[in-house]
Structure 1
Amino acid sequence: MPRVSQAHLDARRQQILDAARRCFVVDGFHATSTRDILRVADLSAGAFYRYFDSKDAIVAAIASECLDQLTNGFDAALGSGTERPLDQALDEVFDVVDRLHRTQDLSKLIVTVWAESVRIPELARLFNEAFGRVRLLTQRAIEQQRDRGLLSPDTSSDGLARVLVGALQGYVIQNALLDEPRAREYRESVHRLIS
């Protein structure tokens, strides 16, 4: 029997993840069955179980990919060596969220997956790690701004970082749930908060 290449295996796994994303965005996690995912992916149950042992494992893989994309956006905007103003860096992060929302329905997907983190400890751990990393990057950027005199000397870098991460989470939720999230007004308000 010919050996299947790693590229083929990776493509098949991604096919399952993409199908699951589509199903979860349309029907939510609990209303989506493994059979639904297989139908959308056009695969057999054997192919599914070669890559994932449960629907929860798919959710964990999707969450990991989503969170990696978000944290990579934060790394690019706020990582070491960046000297841009905090509001400009946060705009870059909001741009990443907007792009992922438009191209992958990220906001709807992340809210669906977020809800599952209440019952799946592995997901809770992934979210805690990702947002902990984002908070530390934001905190470091706030400290740089404060050291350059762009923020009040008594600004709590930890406190403001938590508020800004909460603002990002709120932005994701509003993109997912509101008919008219009013992104421009939201961003302008975050800018005023920082200044």
Structure 2
Amino acid sequence: MNVSWKEDLQGDTGGDFGKMMVSLCTGAREENWDIDYDKAKEDAAKLQEAGVGTLGTEEAEINRILCLRSRPQLLQTLYDYEELTGQSFEEALDSETSGGLHDGFMSIVKFTRNPPRYFAERIRQYCSGAGTDDDGLIRIIVSRSEVDMEEILEEYLKLTDGEKTLGNTIDEECSGDYRKMLQCLISPH
């Protein structure tokens, strides 16, 4: 039996979370940087109707908008949603969704609003508690080192109220050549 990647992913995740993961992995997100302001207002109204504005939550509509709109388009939609409802979309997600679906939707929204802040928060999460999530830490630092690491460093410092740099955290959480490699990637000069 030949199982497609979509069926495999849906089988491993299931439910609305699986549908979100498939939507993200299809590569169908709009790529343009132009904003259609009328569409943003329509999408904001659809988000309101799909969640807080109705009894129950229509996850498929939220999924469609969050997973398919370009970042600039989605950012405008989130702004219009706040104008329409008087609350942030994050507040609506907190009240209307839970579990993995909530976390997935929230990640999309946080990344849309401020990618460096999103990555700084993830790094902080990977370095908190007992042990370090080395795979997560490496994935972010390597993938973002030549993209927006300077902004991530600034956001990380803000997260710690100016008390700890990402370099300080790496010194505390890592050792040896692993620590040296990460330090070089976050400050290559």
Fold similarity call, TM over 0.5: no
Give the structure with the higher percent helix.
1
| Greater relative contact order, per chain length (Cα 8 Å cut-off, separation 6+) | 1
Normalised to the residue count of structure 1, the TM-score between the two structures is: 0.30
